[in-house]
Structure 1
Amino acid sequence: MSSLQCTGVDAGYHKNACVRGFDLAVEPGEIVALLGPNGAGKTTVLMTLAGLLPRLGGEVAVGGVALRSGNPRAAVRAGLVLVPDDRALFRNLTCEQHLRLAVRGRAAGRAAVESAVARFPRLGERLGVAAGELSGGEQQMLAIARALLQRPSVLLIDELSMGLAPVVVESILPTLREVAATDQTSIVLVEQHVRLALDVADRAVVLTHGSVALTDDAAALAGDLPRLEAAYLGA
């Protein structure tokens, strides 16, 4: 059974659809790169799947269970968690406070910190530092670590590399690969650096003008960039 199943999803703002008929199935442990030019609707899709925007049509299911439209709490309870492009951190709370707030109970809080530091050792050096004083890469690590503490079956990450140097992104991607492999977490990744996304993904979906223009194995597309470019251009 697919961890995430989207069928005929229409998404947009103020009842105006900018994404139409979006279909996607993601299997346990699979990483899918959602690619496309600016304005294609990638963020709109993620926000709609996470319940932050009401669906204008179609169905979304997590683990075979249908999600109610426009209900982010229901999405999280079902196992779908979004890391937004702005990371949604509280600037004045420390790294450790963010991690402890993601779980309930003192013992669980200690375990949460240990789990996050095991995956992102750099966070262990910055536990007492306010999120607003962390580097962009550290903030992204913290946002992903906090999301993983909710034990998602489906993790959505919007614009992983926004504001980050490619070398920083390259340090984070292996952790995502490890999470997918060991926890069987399904990951949908929106990423502007196409080559980096294709390196870590199993499959890629190109969204152009609100519609899926191309779906293929990530390795195959990495070896056929002209085909990928044509999809970006809507050719």
Structure 2
Amino acid sequence: MSALRCVGVDAGYAKKSPCVRGIDLTVQRGEIIALLGPNGAGKTTLLMTLAGLLPRLGGEVFVDDSATSSGNPRAAVRAGVVLVPDDRALFRNLTTAQHLKLAAPRRKSAAAPAIQQALGYFPALTRRLDVAAGDLSGGEQQMLAIARALLQRPRVLLIDELSMGLAPIIVESILPVLRTVAEQDGTAVILVEQHVRLALAVADQAVVLAHGEVALTEAAGVLAADLPRLESAYLGS
């Protein structure tokens, strides 16, 4: 059973002119897909549509073979689809601990172990629990955004531009966490990332969007060894 399956998905902001067209995409449990492509290819639009923040203009999306609602972010979260947006969507005045408590299970007996598990992925946050999100470094903010998402126990984790504003060395420290989460929890991950080599190193599959359509789907390792082919796909050729 696939974790997420898109069939002929059209997405965008005007019904008569979708900027993402005919997307067929399948992500298995425990699989990481690197969603690549040039700026304006439609990567963020697709993630926002999968997360219910934009209504689909066509096609169907299935999570664990169950059809999902269109344009309903709460329903998407209930189905297990959780988005970490490129701006991280943190509350600047809330502390790290407060963010984690808000996302944790409501039952007190389950909340504390869940928070400890999330902090286990990002030990650096344990020293910053009383620090407001606005005072965290960019890397710490990204760690907090992902930890908060993991507390929602996603079946499908969507991460948009993980490396936005971060040094590559910070990105290299965060990406292995996604591999661990995928392998240990069976979480399916779709990762939008401009650091192509880093994304391909952690991913199982790569999907390249160009001009709003899938230009190439290939095993990440194969594509990493054939960068001219990747460059050609970026151009939509």
Give the conservation status (yes or no) of the 8 Å contact 2:7–2:61. yes
Determine the structure 1 residue equivalent to 2:9: 9
* Matched-pair contact (CA < 8 Å) for 1:12–1:19: yes
Query: Deviations along 1:90-128, whole A, 9 cap, x unmatched?
Result: 000000000000021444332233122211000101000
TM-superposition CA deviations, 1:35-91 (whole Å, max 9, x none): 000000000000000000000000000001100100011110011100000001000
What secondary structure does 1:110 align onto? Answer: helix
Structure 2 CA distance for aligned equivalents of residues 180 and 100 of structure 1: 23
- Identity, in percent, stands at 74
The CA distance in 1 between the partners of 2:134 and 2:215, in whole Å, is 38
Name 1:218's counterpart in structure 2: 220
What is aligned with 2:42?
41
**Aligned amino acid, residue 13 of structure 2:** Y
**Separation in structure 1 between the aligned mates of residue 100 and residue 7 of structure 2, nearest angstrom:** 34
Q: Which residue of 1 aligns with 2:128?
A: 126
How many aligned positions are there? Answer: 235
Task: Give the counterpart letter for 1:67 in structure 2.
Answer: T
Q: Distance in 1 between matches of 2:108 and 2:91?
A: 20
**Is the CA contact (8 Å cut-off) linking 1:35 and 1:191 kept in structure 2?**
yes
Question: Hey, what's the Cα distance between the residues in 1 that align with 2:93 and 2:133?
Answer: 6
Structure 2 CA distance for aligned equivalents of residues 111 and 86 of structure 1:
28
- The runs of at least 4 aligned residues of structure 1 exceeding 6 Å deviation read none
- For structure 2, list consecutive stretches of 5 or more residues without a partner in the other structure: none
Q: Which moved more, 1:175-184 or 1:11-20?
A: 11-20
TM-score (norm. length: structure 1): 0.98
Q: Cα RMSD between the aligned structures?
A: 0.8
Where does residue 139 of structure 1 map in the other structure?
141
TM-score normalised according to structure 2 size:
0.97
Q: Which residue of 1 aligns with 2:80?
A: 79
- List runs of 5+ in structure 1 lacking aligned partners: none
